[in-house]
Structure 1
Amino acid sequence: MVRIAVDMDEVIADFTAKLLSIYNKKYGTSYTEKDLVGKNLRDVHPEHAEYIRKVIQQSDYFADLPLMKGAREALEKLSEKHEIFITTAAMDFPTSFNAKYAWLRENFPFISDRNYVFCGDKSIISADYLIDDHLRHLKKFKGQGILFTAYHNINDSYEMRMDSWEEIYNYFESNY
């Protein structure tokens, strides 16, 4: 049985879709993730960085994030053969615990809440694989990292990158 640690934001939860929706409504813009290739919204509009920070630090911001396409189905199938842990750097958003916990319970009821890891530094995670969208977490991870493609990391190089949950599922199904 393989132990797979999975990040939450931009891997199973579409953090950016909600942020863009809120931002576009406030500023009358029509940004999509394609407009952010290789960067974050705060890089595009540094003059609004404080507003963006306030939005994502609201305690309920994470309560209703959309699911990433195929995440629930792939993880449900993978959980039949493997140990799945959700590992979120919740210390980046300290007020997010309750909303993230409730979101996980609602969207991934087949994963025990005993398998939720709320942390800051993911180098403490003991797993065979870590699926994450940030290189900073993968660089310190002792197992095999998988960079999950997101708008902000499209220009980053990493030995093992996957673009979708279908690709991730097929990888584990073929190799284990």
Structure 2
Amino acid sequence: MARIAIDMDNVMADLTSHMIHLYEQKHGVRVSMESLNGHPDGGGFPIEGETHAFIREAGFFRDLPVMPDSQEVIKALMEKHEVFIVSAATEFPLSLKEKIDWLEEHFPYISWKNIVLCGSKTIVDADYMIDDHDKNLRYFKGERLLFTAPHNIYLTDYKRVNSWKEVAEYFQLTPAMV
């Protein structure tokens, strides 16, 4: 049984599409996902820095859409492996309760004992880490899986997974499990 650490934002929760939606609501401008490619997380919008204000607002993390297939694949992973949800959440104190509430709603089968809200992920000890940020994967000692997001599209240092279906294939989950 392997231990798998899974990030939340832009891995389980679609933070980027939520930012696109909020930006369009506020400014009436629809930004394409592709136009954000290669920009730092939250960057690439016509008004730079605007999205950084969004993540500091109450309710931002509570309303994130769920990444397609993540619920089924994570549940299947939990049947074969020890799974921990690991989020560098303390930078945004409002996110702590919101992330727990979000997980309870969308992933009710994940125990509170398997949720780690932290600052730096350098302390994480697992066999695998699924994350969208180089800063979290760089020092990780286990197998590193980079979950595709616009800000990491040009990184080539890690094994890349583009979807939760690819995560299921990587861990050899059968269709009956997913």
Shorter-chain TM-score: what band?
over 0.9
5+ residue gaps, structure 2: 174-178
Q: How does 1:24-173 map to 2 (within 5 A)?
A: 24-39=24-39, 40-45=41-46, 47-49=47-49, 51-173=50-172
Aligned pair count reads 172
Larger mean CA deviation between 88-97 and 98-107 belongs to 88-97
2:73–2:168 contact (8 Å) kept in structure 1: yes
Distance 1:136 1:54 in 2: 21
The Cα of 1:59 is off from its aligned counterpart by 2.7
The Cα of 1:43 is off from its aligned counterpart by 3.8
2:85–2:114 contact (8 Å) kept in structure 1: yes
Relative to its length, the structure with more helix (as a share) is 1
Give 4+ residue runs of structure 1 displaced > 4 Å after superposition.
Answer: none
Distance 2:9 2:22 in 1: 17
1:123–1:142 contact (8 Å) kept in structure 2: no
Distance 2:71 2:61 in 1: 17
Distance 1:15 1:143 in 2: 25
Distance 1:155 1:124 in 2: 26
Letter in 1 for 2:31: Y
The Cα of 1:41 is off from its aligned counterpart by 4.3
5+ residue gaps, structure 1: none
Q: Cα RMSD over matched residues? A: 1.4
Between the aligned residues of both structures, percent identity stands at 42
TM-score of the pair, normalised by structure 1? 0.92
**Shift in alpha-carbon separation, 1:41–1:137, aligned structure 2, 3 A:** closer
